[in-house]
Structure 1
Amino acid sequence: MLTHAIFDSLSPDLLAQAKRQCQVMTLAAEQRVFGAGEQCPGLPVVLSGSIKVQMIGASGNGIVLYRMAKNDMCTLSIGCLISGTGYRAEAKWSKKLRRY
């Protein structure tokens, strides 16, 4: 079943439309969700596990910007959808959320 906190605030009509258009993805550990320079096709939300959003420098070193866990939304994607620009970072699936 497709459950996420974002759906709780939608009207029944919008909820039905959103669920028809959602694409559920099952990802392997460290599988890329999106990459820098790609256009944003929609709003990724996390149903389980976590996603790491990071920027990779010219040296190849990464800086983690944030992690998304269940019921989180991708703030980078929201900005890309509003501005019509591509991603400036990459996101990878993580099996486990690490809290610091």
Structure 2
Amino acid sequence: MLFHVRMDVNIPATLPAADAEAVKAREKAYSQQLQDSGKWRHIWRIAGQYANVSVFDVDSVEELHTLLTGLPLFPYMQIQVTPLLRHPSSIRGNDQ
């Protein structure tokens, strides 16, 4: 199952800088692990914002929920999820 996920990050200014850097380092490691596994298929930064759009390839909505809530930055995120389907006009047969 493919999902388009937009994540907007808002780390509070009151979070100590060392704590913010630590959580961002954990976030990077976790996201790269998910990318290596193929679960986090694509990630793009939105220019001028602390936000990204991503494509996740998971087995269920529950799995997506577990992965997203496991993000170290999750407490500081606003997340929008949109399920995706292969478009019948797509020329790529491997879109799933």
Query: Common fold, TM-score beyond 0.5?
Result: no
**Structure with the higher fraction of residues in strand conformation:** 2
Between Structure 1 and Structure 2, the one with more helix by share is 2
The two structures have a TM-score, normalised by structure 1, of: 0.28
Q: Which has the higher contact order (CA 8 A, sep 6+)?
A: 2
TM normalised by structure 2 equals: 0.29
